[in-house]
A and B are shown apart, each in its own frame.
Chain A
Amino acid sequence: MEILVCVKRVPDTEENEICLNGAGNDIECEDLVYSVNEWDNYAVEEAIQIVDRVGGSVTVVTVGDEDAEEVLRREMAMGAEKGILATDDAFEGSDGKGLATILKGVAEKGNYDLIMTGAQADDGAAQVGGMLAALMDLPYASLVNLIEVVDDKKLKVGREIEGGNQEMSEIELPCVLSIQTGINEPRYVGIRGIRKVASVEIPAMGAGDLGVDAGAVGAAGAIVKRADYFVPEMGEGAEMIEGSTEEIVEKLVEILKAKGGIK
């Protein structure tokens, strides 16, 4: 099975607080630590496991600037065979549809049986996978937390729905799936693994290479536009307890007793 997995480089919210810049209209990017979008790691792991079972190869692609190459190497260290960096000044400022249009260009350069994305990324849009499928006229399932290869024409997939219930379906190949966390346990990659793939050639492809109309993507083609970032006025908010650990704990015991939190 030939599998394409779309991965995105995002600020790592475990490593940093997201802060606004001095003007208060954009996020402060200076000291941010970046990593691969959490959901995408699960997608790559799943792709590798499928290929281990039925053969084939895994290609990872990202749309971004040259800094985004590092996430491709990380996923290649996990076991993806090939990487593609879709990069072009014209891609900057793309909205969801723009990204899906670029990824369609990438997908059509290959011959993939299965295309995977993460369920969502840092902006919580959860849109690129579904848009890509619709643009390519392929069947789609989102929030997938189980994949069984039935034969070379179809998969059995589980979608995670409300309450943790699972919606089972059969889906024809080729198709697009967005992957939910928890579907597997992504393998650990150490510095060593990344070093091993440090010199692997990663082709960079621009609008021309991909047959993408530069005017339809990027800021020029975006129809949904983020105007600014801001931190909303906090409502009432929590009553904050301060002090030494001893003082905090004393106060907490008092509150817990009053609220029936200690039996």
Chain B
Amino acid sequence: MAQIFAYISYKDGVADDAALELATVAKKIDAGADVNAIVVGSGVDAVCNEMAASYKEVWKIDKDTVAYPNAEIIRGMLVNALPKDAIVLMAHDTFSMDLGPGLSIKMDSPYVPDVVGIDGVDGSTLKTVRQEFGGQVSTHVNCDIASGAVITVRPGSFEADESKSAGGSVVDKTADAGDVSVKRTFLEVVEAEAGDVDITKSDVLVSIGRGIEEEENIEVAQELADAMGAVVSCSRPIVDAKWLEKSRQVGTSGQTVKPNVYMAMGISGSFQHLGGIKGGFIIAVNKNPKAPIFQVADIGVVADILEVMPALTEKIQEG
């Protein structure tokens, strides 16, 4: 089988959590394989050394031009440096969404995005599990990986491989990556604005999703939150509609929260939303009994939130 490479993303010199999850995925694809990692950036020795404990060879591409990970440049470098039939694993995040599809075209290999399970390999056919419709249904997706593949893996779907027994070495591939010129120039990162409330500081959140239906109904949630001594947070569509400010959004592109109690009201439970909830007792109210949120909630109620919320407020006020 072709060589497997895990693409390692990192922040402030420390590899992302997904880095060791990719090692687990690699073993599921080929238990006997020597799995390699690839690290691209500027001044990446610390990350490379960290990864050598978990990967056989750590390929390093160290260059000023990628001090910020511009996916367009990195795509060109990977095409230059990697073997044509490489199987490239990445975490499914905003960086791989930028890089992965184009990389697969340039490497002429299949692209399998946002994989949540590996069902084994049959000959050279890889069987993966994906989700569609925001997690309402799953699918088996198969592809031939004999001539390589680009596969992105949903963070948190696989256990991290903590064995750290690879005893690997770092190999400098900067020269192979070559000079890549692109038509997209990175300027700066603008940090998200802080809002008037900090939902990350609240122990109890009443979080509303598209099930709130109308802007006027937000008051109903606010009244419940007031009665409970909680703060109102929300899913992304509520922010997209400009009903609440961005700082109240829970999820991968919003805030990460860790309350004691999280009330998910009319939220379906997409993985991008759940990615922002790092613990706490989850109570979900949703009118769809099959909503994915019920798979992760502690307590579930199949009901209309517009009935449950006012009744609950009243009950609490009664004392």
Q: Which residues of A contact B (CB under 8 A)?
A: 11, 13-14, 17-18, 20, 27, 96-97, 100, 119, 122-131, 133-135, 138-143, 156, 158-172, 175, 181-182, 185, 223-232, 234-235, 237-242, 245-246, 248-250, 252-253, 255-256, 259-263
Contacts and interface: CB of A to CB of B under 8 A. Distances in A.
A248 B308 contact: yes
A170 B187 contact: yes
Contacts of A252: 283, 299, 301, 308, 312, 315
Given A231-B138, A256-B228, A238 B111 contact: no
B186 A249 contact: no
A168 B187 contact: yes
B311 interface: yes
Interface string B152-164: 0000000000000
B299 A241 contact: yes
Nearest to B307: A245
Nearest to B304: A245
Interface of B: 70, 72, 75, 93-95, 97-106, 110-114, 127, 129-134, 136-144, 182-192, 203-204, 210, 227-230, 236-237, 239-242, 246, 249, 252-256, 260-261, 263, 268, 281-284, 288, 290, 294-303, 307-308, 311-312, 315-316
A180 B281 CA distance: 31
Contacts of A163: 192, 252-256
Contact of A248 (B72, B110, B114, B303): B303
A96 B97 contact: no
A258 B261 CA distance: 11
B183 A171 contact: yes
Nearest to A163: B192
Contact of A224 (B100, B110, B129, B229): B110
A239 B299 contact: yes
A15 to B, nearest CB: 12
B253 A162 contact: yes
B137 A165 contact: no
A13 B136 contact: yes
Main secondary structure of the interface of B (DSSP, over half): mixed
Contact of A13 (B133, B187, B190, B303): B133
A175 B102 CA distance: 13
Contact of B102 (A140, A185, A229): A140
A185 B70 CA distance: 29
A225 B113 contact: no
Main secondary structure of the interface of A (DSSP, over half): mixed
A138 B184 CA distance: 10
B192 A164 contact: yes
B313 to A, nearest CB: 9
A249 B311 contact: yes
B240 A165 contact: no
Contacts of B282: 238
Given A125-B113, A131-B111, A139-B72, A171 B98 contact: no
Contacts of A119: 97
B228 to A, nearest CB: 5
Contacts of A237: 294-295, 300
6 contacts: A139-B184, A140-B102, A230-B139, A230-B140, A239-B299, A245-B311
Nearest to B205: A261
Nearest to B237: A181
A226 B137 CA distance: 13
Contacts of B203: 260
Nearest to B113: A125
Contacts of A224: 110-112, 141-143
A249 B110 contact: no
A248 B305 CA distance: 12
A242 B285 CA distance: 11
The 7 A-B residue pairs with the shortest CB-CB distance, nearest first, are A130-B101, A263-B229, A238-B300, A134-B102, A134-B105, A261-B261, A164-B192
